[in-house]
Every structure is written in structure tokens, then in C-alpha cells.
């Protein structure tokens, strides 16, 4: 309120200054022999305290009404959802991110890792041996035989651990691309969206969901590199990479990029 009063006072002073200058110029034009001091006295007499008070009141009321209008508009926008049902005449692209080569190589990386860890698992199970019963001193053996005998106590655990690591890596390379959104369309009518994600070995999969079933956990203009998207009746999150393109930013922010409570 103090800031508003300061702004109103400054506007009031500028208005008085401009009005005084205009009146002085007008009097000087029609009464060339009147001195500047006399013109100023005439102007000050014409501006009564009541007129000054009325001008100040009008400026203050306009400022307060403008602020109330902005607050009312903001509250109405927050309370009323952005409804576009039936207004979308055709399928509209809201997001696209083409990175097929990366996710194809990502799948090959998982296959390679699974093969390597499976080989290590088989090697540990077949080659690692326990120390023979009658042999306790292994100091005179070559270093590689001592290593084999030393690790042979845990060969089953090492074999199982290697196989599990390979399986986890392969699972990540299969599951992660299926959660990365490649393109997102708002379908005709504005009630549903078509989501296309990556799949294994560079393939894609497409499905359709109602708009109300999507909830973005972060704004498009946030700091993170990705936008986590929760879809109702599904496990885990889907991911929108911010390096992709957003052809309709306003439509995306108000329709898809909204946090909803399921």
C-alpha cells in the first residue's frame, strides 16, 4: 500500500506540473505583458485544494481498482481449469524428440553387457576351484593358481552375482527406453493424447490416454533436464526430455504440463 501511495503521489505531482506549465504557456500567449510570478499566482489560485484532493483520489481509486482486477483475473484463472474440450479441430503436436540412434545403441550395449557378465558367471562356476584337502600351503604355486584357489571358496556366490549384474543391466536397457516419450499429440477434440515412446532395438510403441490421466511433476521451465510424467493406473514415471521441441508451448503448459492429484 505504501508503494502504491508513492506511485500515486508521483503521478499526481507530474499531472500538476504539466497542468501548471500548460496554463502558464496559455496565459503567456494571450497576455504577453503579465510577469511569470503573476502567472504562477493565477494558476495556483485556479487550482483549489478541493480539485487537488479530487485528482489524487481519482488516481488512487484507479490504481486500487486495477490491482483488484489483476488479482480477480489471476484467481479466476487458478480456480477454473483450462478447458479446450471440443475446440481442437485436428491432431496437434505438443512435443517431439527424435533420438532413435541413441536408444538403439543403448539396447546393443545391454546385450553386450549381459553377454559379458554371463561369461564371467560361467567362468566363475567352472574354473574357480577350492583348495584340495591335502594341500594347505599354496605359496609355492604360480600366482594365477593361487588366485583360482583363493576365489574358489566363493565361486557359487561370484557366479550368481555376475549373472544378476548382467540381468539388471539388460533390464534397464529394455525398460528405460519404454519410459522415454518420443512424441506427444493432442488428439482431435482435446480430450485425449497420443503418446509414442521408444522401445527395444530402436522400435516404438504408441498408446492413447485421456488428458485427465496425465500429471506433470515439474514445469516445462524448471531447472531439471527432464519432466517426469505420471500416468494414472501405471507404475513408475514417464520422461519428457527438455531438449526436444515444444511446437505449442501454451497448449502444452495448460493442458499436459499440469500437476493433477490422482
Reading phi first (left if > 0) and then psi (alpha if -120 to 50, else beta), residue 201 is in left
Give the pLDDT score at 254: 87
* Cα–Cα distances in angstroms (integers) from residue 5 to residues 10, 49, 57, 61, 63, in the given order: 9, 18, 11, 11, 9
Specify the residue for cell string 510577469. 35
Q: What is the tens place of the pLDDT at every residue in 174-189?
A: 999 999 999 999 998 8
Give the pLDDT score at 200: 84
Nearest-5° Cα angle at 103, 111 to 233: 100
Q: What is the tens place of the pLDDT at every residue in 99-140?
A: 999 999 999 999 999 999 999 999 888 876 665 555 555 566
> pLDDT by residue for the chain (262 residues), tens digit each?
444 455 555 554 555 555 545 544 554 444 444 444 444 444 444 444 444 445 445 544 455 445 444 444 434 444 444 566 557 788 899 999 999 999 999 999 999 999 999 999 998 888 766 655 555 555 666 665 665 655 556 677 788 889 999 999 999 999 999 999 999 999 988 889 999 999 988 889 999 999 999 999 988 888 889 999 999 988 889 999 999 999 989 889 988 888 888 7
Give the pLDDT score at 241: 93
Give the pLDDT score at 125: 80
Question: What residues have CB less than 8 Å from 167, skipping those under 6 apart?
Answer: 114, 117
Amino acid at each position: 500500500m505504501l508503494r502504491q501511495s508513492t506511485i500515486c503521489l508521483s503521478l499526481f505531482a507530474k499531472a500538476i506540473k504539466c497542468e501548471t506549465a500548460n496554463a502558464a504557456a496559455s496565459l503567456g500567449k494571450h497576455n504577453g505583458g503579465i510577469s511569470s510570478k503573476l502567472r504562477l499566482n493565477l494558476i495556483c489560485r485556479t487550482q483549489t485544494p478541493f480539485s487537488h484532493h479530487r485528482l489524487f483520489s481519482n488516481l488512487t481509486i484507479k490504481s486500487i481498482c486495477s490491482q483488484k482486477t489483476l488479482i480477480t483475473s489471476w484467481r479466476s484463472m487458478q480456480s477454473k481449469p483450462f478447458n479446450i474440450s471440443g475446440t481442437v479441430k485436428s491432431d496437434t503436436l505438443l512435443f517431439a524428440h527424435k533420438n532413435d540412434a541413441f536408444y538403439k545403441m543403448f539396447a546393443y550395449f545391454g546385450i553386450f553387457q549381459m553377454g559379458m557378465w554371463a561369461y564371467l558367471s560361467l567362468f566363475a562356476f567352472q574354473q574357480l576351484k577350492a583348495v584340495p584337502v591335502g594341500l594347505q600351503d599354496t605359496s609355492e604355486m604360480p600366482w594365477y593358481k593361487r588366485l583360482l584357489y583363493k576365489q574358489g571358496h566363493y565361486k557359487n556366490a561370484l557366479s550368481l552375482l555376475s549373472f544378476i549384474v548382467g540381468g539388471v543391466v539388460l533390464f534397464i536397457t529394455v525398460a528405460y527406453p519404454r519410459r522415454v516419450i518420443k512424441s506427444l499429440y493432442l488428439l482431435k477434440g482435446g480430450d485425449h493424447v497420443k503418446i509414442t515412446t521408444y522401445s527395444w532395438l530402436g522400435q516404438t510403441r504408441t498408446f492413447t490416454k485421456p488428458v485427465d490421466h496425465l500429471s506433470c511433476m515439474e514445469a516445462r521451465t524448471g531447472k531439471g533436464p527432464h519432466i517426469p510424467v505420471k500416468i494414472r493406473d501405471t507404475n513408475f514415471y514417464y520422461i519428457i526430455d527438455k531438449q526436444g521441441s515444444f511446437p505449442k508451448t501454451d497448449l502444452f503448459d495448460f493442458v499436459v504440463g499440469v500437476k493433477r492429484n490422482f
